C-alpha cells in the first residue's frame, strides 16, 4: 500500500503467517509499524506497514465478526479487574467449547453468562470469579472499564438496525481509489519514459 493510504480508519488486510486478515488501521506508530484492529477477532496488534494490502471490494461490506462481550452480573472487587482475575478468566476459557447464556444486549455490548459443561458439574465463570474473591455478584450489567477506556470496535463498527450483527463503518473508499489512480499514473509515466 502506498504511504498516502496508511491512515487511521483505513480498512485493508494484512498477511500473518501466510493467512490474510481484515484489519483497520488504528494508529501509525512510526515509519515502519502501525497498530491495527482486527474487526473479526476484536484485538489490536502492531504490524509492519509492508504487510498491509488493499482489501478486495467484495470483502469491504462483510459484517464484523467480533462482538464486544462482558460477563453478566459481575463487577471487579476493586475498580478494575486484577491481573490474577484476568489470568483466571483466560485459564477458564483456554481451548474449551463453552456455553454462553445471553442476559441482554445493551449499548453495543453483549452481556452473557459463560459456563463450562465439559465436566460432571457445570462451571459458571461468574461463580468461580466470586468464589476466588475477584468478583462481586451485582445483579446488573456493568460494562468493563476496558470498553470505556479503549474500544476500537466502537470507533469502527456500528450495530446494524436490521440485525444483531455489527457492521463495519462505511470505509472511505476514495483513499483506496486515489491510491490506485496514483499508482496507475506512475506506471503510465514509467512506460512513457521507457518508450522514449
Give per-residue pLDDT as tens, 129-143: 999 999 999 888 876
Among 33, 56, 79, residue at a domain's last position: 56
Cell digits of residue 80: 478494575
What SS3 class is residue 185?
helix
Can you tell me the distance from the alpha carbon of 36 to that of 47, in angstroms, rounded to the nearest whole number?
Answer: 7
Q: What is the pLDDT of residue 32?
A: 95
CATH of the domain at 90: 2.40.50.90
93 and 42, same structural domain?
Answer: no
Which residue ranges of the chain lie beneath pLDDT 70? 143-196
Q: What is the pLDDT of residue 29?
A: 96
85 and 30, same structural domain?
Answer: no
Q: What is the pLDDT of residue 128?
A: 95
Q: What is the pLDDT of residue 190?
A: 43
Can you tell me the distance from the alpha carbon of 110 to that of 70, in angstroms, rounded to the nearest whole number?
Answer: 6
Can you tell me the distance from the alpha carbon of 172 to that of 125, in angstroms, rounded to the nearest whole number?
Answer: 41
CATH of the domain at 18: 2.30.30.140
Can you tell me the distance from the alpha carbon of 22 to that of 59, in angstroms, rounded to the nearest whole number?
Answer: 8
Number of structural domains found in the chain: 2
> Is the residue at 100 inside a domain?
yes
Residue 4 main-chain phi, psi, to 5 deg = -65, -20
H/E element holding 45? strand 44-48
Beta strand 44-48 pairing with 166-168: unpaired
Query: Which residue in this structure is represented by grid cell 462481550?
Result: 69
Q: What is the pLDDT of residue 107?
A: 77
pTM surpassing 0.85?
no
Give per-residue pLDDT as tens, 21-61: 999 999 999 999 999 999 898 889 999 999 999 998 888 88
* 113 strand-pairing partners: 101
Burial class (CB in 10 A: 0-12, 13-18, 19+), 113: middle
Containing domain of residue 43, as a range? 1-56
Can you tell me the distance from the alpha carbon of 176 to that of 23, in angstroms, rounded to the nearest whole number?
Answer: 14
Can you tell me the distance from the alpha carbon of 157 to that of 168, in angstroms, rounded to the nearest whole number?
Answer: 5
Amino acid at each position: 500500500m502506498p504511504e498516502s493510504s496508511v491512515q487511521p480508519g483505513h480498512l485493508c488486510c494484512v498477511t500473518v503467517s501466510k493467512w490474510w486478515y481484515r484489519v483497520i488501521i488504528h494508529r501509525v506508530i512510526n515509519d515502519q509499524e502501525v497498530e491495527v484492529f482486527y474487526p473479526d477477532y476484536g484485538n489490536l496488534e502492531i504490524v509492519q506497514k509492508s504487510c498491509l494490502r488493499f482489501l478486495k471490494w467484495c470483502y469491504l461490506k462483510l459484517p464484523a465478526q467480533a462482538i464486544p462481550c462482558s460477563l453478566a452480573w459481575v463487577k471487579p472487587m476493586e475498580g478494575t479487574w486484577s491481573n490474577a482475575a484476568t489470568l483466571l478468566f483466560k485459564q477458564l476459557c483456554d481451548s474449551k467449547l463453552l456455553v454462553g447464556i445471553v442476559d441482554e444486549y445493551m449499548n453495543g455490548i453483549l452481556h452473557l453468562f459463560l459456563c463450562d459443561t465439559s465436566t460432571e458439574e457445570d462451571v459458571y465463570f461468574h461463580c468461580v470469579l466470586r468464589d476466588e474473591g475477584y468478583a462481586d455478584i451485582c445483579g446488573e450489567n456493568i460494562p468493563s472499564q476496558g470498553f470505556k477506556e479503549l474500544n476500537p470496535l466502537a470507533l469502527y463498527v456500528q450495530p446494524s438496525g436490521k440485525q444483531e450483527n455489527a457492521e463495519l463503518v462505511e470505509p472511505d473508499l476514495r483513499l483506496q481509489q486515489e491510491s490506485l489512480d496514483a499508482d496507475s499514473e506512475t506506471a503510465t509515466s514509467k512506460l512513457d519514459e521507457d518508450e522514449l
